[in-house]
Amino acid sequence: MNEDRLWPAHPHPYRGELLSSWLVRVAHANGLKVQTFCRLAFGNDRQVWNRDIDRLAPASLVETMSARTGTPLSRAWRTTLMIYRGKLFKDWKASGQLQWVLSLKMFHRKRLGYGLQFCPRCLAEDAEPYFRLAWRVAFYTYCPKHDCMLLDRCPQCGQGVAYHRIELGRPDVTSTEPLCRCWACGYDYRESGTTIADKWNERTFECWTKALRITDCDAPSSAHFDYGKLAVLHQMVKLLTSDEKNRRLARYVASKTGQAVPNAAANRVPIEGCGLAERHHVVGLAWWLIDRWPSRLKAAWRRRALRYNWLLRDFNHAPNWYRVFANSLSCHLTRPQERVSHDT
């Protein structure tokens, strides 16, 4: 392909679209299979799909996509998870877990995890189905537009989403498939049944839904994101799934909310590696716990369900207001035993 001209078909990214989704759509728009297109566009010596390109996109790939589709470079970079830097996670890193970013568990070109979710109703409404950045976020477990739970795998065969593999290993397939087709069995995700999200506490889910809508924006603004609050939410998730003796905090929160006691993280699996149902359950309890700040955490401390030194454990980027609260508990030698009427 001539590197100085636009590709014959050069669609721009949709609102909030993932780089990988955009790249596959561009390949299909040009009438080529994904692997063939990538070989012609980026060269044989540049492997594209052996990494999580939404997180680890080489600059050359993003720059080529920008130049050959006529998309501003800044807009092209906004199709990557770097858009959430300073919003969901503090610092970008090439390896290890990023806070709130779901893991694909890459193995060569395969994805062993379920790190890309989807809303069947959103896909059905799209003029051309595409996958969103927000669907890679761990606390994004239900669709704020349709009030339904997302899915993180094919409901027919159980395989994770991997639209870059739709034509892989199928030389007889000459037509391109929409991204909403399962790569393993061909099932159309738009036909998936949905489950209404169980909003068991109105105020808790109001806060949660607001955070989802902000996360869903294209080019989210730092002014709208509350990194500190989301970091504290993440810390609450870790406390609720810890293996502390008797798991007092998890049992306390479950008793107050009427919800089940969350499972302790097996083998220290972070929330970003957990399944959809488990994430939805634990994150909901964490939202409840930080609501009516700081009365519910203080009540848990008074009931001896929480130790003050747990609050800052392995929490390097805790916001100042949270540190002040945690340190205030350390100043008390005894816990008041009076009943707290506003902790539910």
Does 87 have pLDDT greater than 70?
Answer: yes
Distance from first CA to last CA of the chain, Å, rounded?
A: 63
Task: Using the Cα atoms of residue 90, residue 96, residue 102 and residue 107 in order, give the sign of their dihedral.
Answer: positive
Q: Which pTM value belongs to this model?
A: 0.91
Min mean pLDDT across 108-122, 208-222, 300-314 is at 208-222
Please give the mean pLDDT across all residues of the chain: 89
Does 258 have pLDDT greater than 90?
Answer: yes
Q: Domain locations in the chain?
A: 19-67+81-191, 226-330
Residues in Cβ contact with 27 at an 8 Å cutoff, skipping those fewer than 6 apart? 33, 34, 36, 37, 38, 176
What pLDDT score was predicted for residue 4? 65
Tell me the per-residue pLDDT of 140-192, one tens digit each, with 9 for 90 and over.
Answer: 999 999 999 999 999 999 999 999 988 876 666 656 779 999 999 999 999 99
Q: Rounded distance, CA 224 to CA 319, Å? A: 16
Contact 284, 259 (CB under 8 A): yes
Mean pLDDT of 100-129: 88
Does 342 have pLDDT greater than 50?
Answer: no
Length of the chain: 344
- CB environment 217-233: b (16+ within 10 A), e (fewer): ebebeeeebbbebbbbb
Tell me the per-residue pLDDT of 3-38, one tens digit each, with 9 for 90 and over.
Answer: 668 999 999 999 999 999 999 999 999 999 998 999
Task: Kindly write down the DSSP assignment for every residue of 163-214, as one continuous string.
Answer: GGGSSTT-TT--SPPPTTB-TTT--BGGG----B----SHHHHHHHHHHHHH
Contact 127, 178 (CB under 8 A): no
Does 134 have pLDDT greater than 80?
Answer: yes
Mean pLDDT of 274-285: 96
What pLDDT score was predicted for residue 312? 94
Mean pLDDT of 240-250: 82
